[in-house]
Amino acid sequence: MTRLMDTIGESVRDRCKNASLNPQEDEIRKCILRFFAKTGNPPTVKEIAEIVAAPPDVINQTIRKLRQADVLTTQAGVITSIYPFSAVKTRHTVVFADGHSVNALCATDALGVHFMLGEDITFRSLCPECGCEISIVLKGGRVISRDPTGAVEYAKARDHYGCTAETCCPHINLFCGRDHVDQWRAKNPAFSDGEVYEIEEAMEDGRMIFGEFLK
Ligand SMILES: [Zn+2]
């Protein structure tokens, strides 16, 4: 049986591949990611233009191309998300060693940030069932600590093939434990046929999807 996360992961990586970015466009994509990681917010067109030394027209064109490929989203010309980051507050927060943080689109994306940047992170996530904070510390490609210890990931794609930042990521969450997944599923029958993953497994999904994202 194909794991749900393999399908989702493939679709995210395919989207970047299918965008067929030329080297400059890919550099712009990476610039947006690095800026987002460093500041917690997306760069403006002007900021990107200064960093990559390209005219704003080229930046705008590339943003349009990335949006069409469903790699990023915009609102009124401002970048609102780019895999794996969100400018809008989500229940998934990646905290870096110096204390600054960035919102991730989903739990797998947050775990993937560790591999995309090669930086130690603390991933804080709110359990959809009880609202309590779950904390996962990743160091050197390993889960160093987790609180609560029974925390798991639950993934449910609304539509495997139309998986986008809006439709898919809100349904890849961490829960305090399997009991809270079951309680939440009972209350949300439309999302009850998802899959539960151990944190290590979810972390490997993050590595598979985002490990090469900035290479
Ligand atoms: Zn909970």
Is residue 81 predicted with pLDDT exceeding 60?
yes
Rounded to the nearest angstrom, the distance between the alpha carbon of 190 and the centre of ligand 1 is 19
| pLDDT over 50 at 161, yes or no | no
Q: What integer pLDDT is reported at residue 169 of this predicted model?
A: 56
Whole-number Å distance, alpha carbon 183 to ligand 1 midpoint, is: 9
Q: What is the pLDDT of residue 162?
A: 43
**DSSP SS3 for 129:** coil
Across 118-147, average pLDDT:
97
173: left (phi over 0), alpha (psi -120 to 50) or beta: beta
State which residues have CB under 5 angstroms from ligand 1, the bound ion.
Answer: 127, 129-130, 132, 176, 180
CATH class assigned to 87-210: alpha beta
d(CA 177, ligand 1 centre) in Å: 7
* pLDDT value of residue 21: 93
Per-residue model confidence as pLDDT tens digits over 169-210: 568 999 999 999 999 999 998 888 899 999 999 999 999 999
Query: Where in the chain is CATH 3.30.450.410?
Result: 87-210
Residue 138 reports pLDDT greater than 50? yes
Report whether 51 contacts 82 (CB < 8 A): no
Distance 5 CA to ligand 1 centre (A): 22
CA 13 – ligand 1 centroid, Å: 31
pLDDT higher than 80, residue 77: yes
Query: Percentage of residues in the chain with pLDDT exceeding 90?
Result: 76
Q: At a CB cut-off of 8 Å and minimum separation 6, what does 120 contact?
A: 96, 97, 114, 137, 138, 139, 140
Per-residue confidence (pLDDT) for residue 190, from 0 to 100: 84
Residue 44 φ/ψ, nearest 5 degrees: -80, 170
Ligand 1 center to 124 CA (angstroms):
13
Q: Give distance in angstroms: CA of 187 to centre of ligand 1.
A: 14
Is a pLDDT exceeding 50 seen at residue 148? yes
- Using CA atoms, how far apart are residues 38 and 33, in angstroms rounded to an integer? 9
CB 80 within 8 A of CB 109: no
Asked if residue 26 has pLDDT above 60, the reply is: yes
Q: What is the mean pLDDT of residues 60-86?
A: 92
Confidence of residue 59 (pLDDT cuts 50, 70, 90): very high
Does residue 42 register a pLDDT over 90?
Answer: yes
CATH dotted code for 11-83: 1.10.10.10
Strand, helix or coil for residue 200: helix
Dist. CA 110 → ligand 1 center (Å): 18
CA torsion through residues 11, 14, 19, 24, sign: positive
Please give the pLDDT value at position 164. 52
* CB-based burial, 75-88: b 16+ in 10 Å, e otherwise: eeeebebbbbbbbe
Measure CA 9 to chain center: 11
Helix %, strand %, coil % for the chain, to 5? 45, 25, 35
Pairing of strands 152-155, 133-139: unpaired
pLDDT at 158 over 70: no
Q: Say whether pLDDT at 12 is over 90.
A: no
Q: Is the pLDDT of residue 160 over 80?
A: no
**What 3-state class would DSSP assign to 145?**
strand
133 Cα to the center of ligand 1, angstroms: 8
Segments of the chain assigned to CATH 1.10.10.10: 11-83
C-beta of residue 139 within 8 angstroms of C-beta of residue 120: yes
